[in-house]
Structure 1
Amino acid sequence: MRISVTHQVEIPATHKLELYKKAPEFGPKILFFSGGTALRNTSRELIRYTHNSIHLITPFDSGGSSAVIRKAFGMPAVGDIRNRLLALADQSITGTPEIFKLFTYRLSQSKSQEELHSELQHMATGGHPLVQPIPAPMREIICNHFKHFLKIMPDDFDLNGASVGNLVLAAGYLHNNRQLDPVIYVFSKLVQVYGVVHATINKDLHIAVRLQDDTVIIGQHCITGKEMPPPASPIREIWMTDSLDDSTPVHTAVSDKTKKHIAEADLICYPVGSFFSSVMANLLPDGVGEAVAANRCPKVFVPNTAEDPESLGLSVVDQVRLIRRQLALSGAPNGSDTLKYVLMDMEKASYTYPIDTEELESMGVTVINCPLLTQSGDTYMDARLLAEALLSLS
């Protein structure tokens, strides 16, 4: 089908997709500012066409087992990084399905700390049923990480409900002088990750938001509506803080490596997912906006089709303005190209917010109407359709 009078692109671009599928190792570098699990299925679809997608992940998760690890060691969250690594892993490689099972396993919520500590020790020896099937040398590498974690684990560390994959990555982070890249690299090789996974920043910071009623909320877990009630008023702005106890804004710059990833992208996507804690949070560090503006590739926003508690009261126009404003705050020059296209399924999706296409066009934003849902009434986008649409635009 043909889409948009002002942007003639065929979606799906069948010929282009066939070429990508034949040689995914040469596929496009589609960059996502994301976090959480919203792109998990899309990531799995992408590796059929490209092994070069780039995933800049937020390290701000402050809930669940991530909160326990962060409090104990003063480190960034690794749970979303783990999720994306596994989503991009080649499940056909020997040992990968076994590592997937181990890394998605959570310790019991009901057993005693002594029992859980004993189970972790069993994993460290390699005799645990989830560890034993993993072939060497993968098993030895993982066991060494368990041993290191047991060595540094505080006596009062709460293992109830702990994500085993998070414990392994935390051990690797602490063993590598508090650097995320080395441990991401090791496990990318272990499970043959087809793409690049990179934390936006490597610092122990949190996020805070201000609502339209001037209420300030600190901590990602208090914003998403998963562990705590969702914000009762629309979110007006977001910033980084040093701790969960102080809302004072702090600034930090992205690394040269992050800038390089952005500069190399063939397409930049602000994807579906929690709008503030996943997408906007990635745009906070200084230098992000400058790097995005300097890259002349297409920049695409994909609004949620499912309900997002963080988008309460925000239209697509509002979200576009917020993205552009945040990129300007992180270095994008006035009037620069930071968001050009909005990808929507106007036929089958039931968006929960107003869609003013004329206002978007007046802002210099082209709405691209294409199939993203399998059938009318679906809540979530079809991973294959979304992946093929982005690949067609790259």
Structure 2
Amino acid sequence: MRLARYRKAPELGPKILFFSGGSALRTFSEVLAGYTHNSIHLVTPFDSGGSSAELRRAFSMPAVGDLRARLLSLADDSVTGHPEIAALFSHRLTNRNGKISPEKGLEDLSTGKHALLKAIAEPMRSLIQSYIAEFRQQMPDNFDLADASVGNLILTGGYLLHNRSLDPIAFLFGQLIKTRGTVRTTTDADLQLEVELENGRTITGQHRFTGKETAEIDSPIKSIKLSGEADDVDTLDASKVAKETRKLIDSAELLVFPPGSFYSSVIANILPKGVGKAIHKNPAPRVYVPSLGTDLETLGMTLFDQIRVLDRHLSSRAANGRSKNSGIDFLLFDSRLLEISNSQVESIQNDLGIQIIDVDLAKDDEDLNRYDDVKLAEALLALT
């Protein structure tokens, strides 16, 4: 009955908060929007590879790729939304078939001549054009535009115009494309992820240890921290983490640590100071949904190990009068998709006091590396 009510009036759905990266929950977010338009997504701004690296080098800024991806996955692409804006946001500058060079494409966008921009009604067209023009004006001469995401360029232009702050531009474009939920980054400081391996090696830069672009992990990860300019690191205290972010965490009815790269997506969101304190203040249930398939970041780790690491970063032993041993309330998974020993089950339940919810989350096509998006959404909604 509750699920039926959510489907009938998703605008009145629960506030479920997800700490994640950008790509792991792409299709899941589309499904979730059918049940609630009030989900909250705090995504990481620490990507250091691909086109994000080019923007970060040029402007000394946080990564915006994950923010763009999640905004688009929650966008209303129906006739009641603004699919023409989403189409522009999804476009990439390319010179396939030798037709239009990336430089010419950016020029057409900044001067209002591009067909995708012309399809957008005023006053939104002029606003978006102003962000693109700002990006083009500040773009270094040696900037590589090949295959650049227009959405990333727009967000960057807005970031530069709004005093190097991501929250205003994330809010604005959430409104423009009618995002069915709230998407923010945990911080807009220009920082990198740095991991120390068990063998003593230190690796700086997310793309170097996720295994997506390079695979430099040859030993289990021992610890992770934020690194960057001293001024940026020092400002990440409880008074500097965005007030809006703290309010969003405080308003959540369920806190979810979802599937995704364990350190660079899940743990990374807890690292900025102020996030953990905001989590502690909220008595809402906390649930961990472990990833399926291969995650190089969990090399040498059992599921019990993952939960202990997550708990250590949450540091919620006595928050809100909790007498339990762990900062996690529920472990949600499907034992047919993720094997776990009886000893781990006993340790998770007895030593950490976590309730295990072992339910059917399998896809019908027998893909053992992904949860079924509908089943996972409905299982989480049942906990609200």
Q: Same fold (TM over 0.5)?
A: yes
- Superposed, which structure 2 residues align to 1:70-81 within 5 Å? 70-81=56-67
- The whole-number CA distance in structure 2 between the counterparts of 1:65 and 1:335 is 46
Answer with 324-333 or 251-260: which moved more: 324-333
Residues 280-300 of structure 1: CA deviation (Å, up to 9, x unaligned): 000111222222222111100
TM-score by length of 2: 0.91
Q: How many residue pairs were aligned?
A: 374
Answer with 21-30 or 263-272: which moved more: 21-30
Residues 155-188 of structure 1: CA deviation (Å, up to 9, x unaligned): 1211122111101100000001111111111111
CA contact (8 A) 1:211 1:236 kept: yes
Give 1:332 deviation, angstroms. Answer: 5.9
Give 1:335 deviation, angstroms. Answer: 5.8
Which one of the candidate residues 168, 181, 206 is aligned to 1:220? Answer: 206
Residue 376 of structure 2 is aligned to residue 386 of structure 1: yes
Which one of the candidate residues 246, 250, 258 is aligned to 1:271? Answer: 258
Taking only aligned residues, the RMSD between alpha carbons, in angstroms, comes to: 2.5
- The whole-number CA distance in structure 2 between the counterparts of 1:169 and 1:354 is 46
CA contact (8 A) 2:192 2:226 kept: yes
- The whole-number CA distance in structure 1 between the counterparts of 2:346 and 2:11 is 40
- Superposed, which structure 2 residues align to 1:245-264 within 5 Å? 252-253=236-237, 254-264=241-251
- The whole-number CA distance in structure 2 between the counterparts of 1:133 and 1:94 is 16
- The whole-number CA distance in structure 2 between the counterparts of 1:313 and 1:250 is 33
- The whole-number CA distance in structure 1 between the counterparts of 2:120 and 2:318 is 46
Which one of the candidate residues 321, 337, 340 is aligned to 2:329? Answer: 340
Instruction: Show the counterpart of 2:39.
Output: 53
State the identity as a percent. 45
With over 3 angstroms needed to count, the CA separation of the structure-2 counterparts of 1:47 and 1:191, relative to structure 1, is same
CA contact (8 A) 2:249 2:279 kept: yes
TM-score by length of 1: 0.88
- The whole-number CA distance in structure 2 between the counterparts of 1:330 and 1:241 is 27
Which one of the candidate residues 123, 141, 153 is aligned to 2:109? Answer: 123
Amino acid paired to 1:269:
V
CA contact (8 A) 2:191 2:233 kept: no
Answer with 325-334 or 219-228: which moved more: 325-334
CA contact (8 A) 2:15 2:251 kept: yes
With over 3 angstroms needed to count, the CA separation of the structure-2 counterparts of 1:304 and 1:48, relative to structure 1, is same
Instruction: Show the counterpart of 2:159.
Output: 173
CA contact (8 A) 1:61 1:220 kept: yes
- The whole-number CA distance in structure 2 between the counterparts of 1:189 and 1:339 is 33
Amino acid paired to 1:343:
L
Instruction: Show the counterpart of 1:35.
Output: 21
With over 3 angstroms needed to count, the CA separation of the structure-2 counterparts of 1:127 and 1:180, relative to structure 1, is same
SS at match of 1:168: helix
SS at match of 1:131: helix
Amino acid paired to 1:252:
L
- The whole-number CA distance in structure 1 between the counterparts of 2:96 and 2:316 is 46
Which one of the candidate residues 69, 73, 98 is aligned to 1:87? Answer: 73
- Superposed, which structure 2 residues align to 1:352-391 within 5 Å? 356-362=344-350, 363-375=352-364, 376-391=366-381
Amino acid paired to 2:148:
A
Residues 27-65 of structure 1: CA deviation (Å, up to 9, x unaligned): 111001111211111111111111111111111111111
Instruction: Show the counterpart of 1:311.
Output: 298
- Superposed, which structure 2 residues align to 1:66-215 within 5 Å? 66-93=52-79, 96-108=82-94, 115-215=101-201
With over 3 angstroms needed to count, the CA separation of the structure-2 counterparts of 1:335 and 1:110, relative to structure 1, is farther
- The whole-number CA distance in structure 1 between the counterparts of 2:82 and 2:374 is 23
Instruction: Show the counterpart of 1:62.
Output: 48
With over 3 angstroms needed to count, the CA separation of the structure-2 counterparts of 1:25 and 1:345, relative to structure 1, is same
Which one of the candidate residues 292, 311, 314 is aligned to 1:324? Answer: 311
- The whole-number CA distance in structure 1 between the counterparts of 2:66 and 2:246 is 20
Structure with greater contact order relative to length (CA < 8 Å, sep ≥ 6): 1
Give 1:127 deviation, angstroms. Answer: 2.5
CA contact (8 A) 2:280 2:316 kept: no
SS at match of 2:356: strand
Give unmatched runs, 5+ long, in structure 2. Answer: none
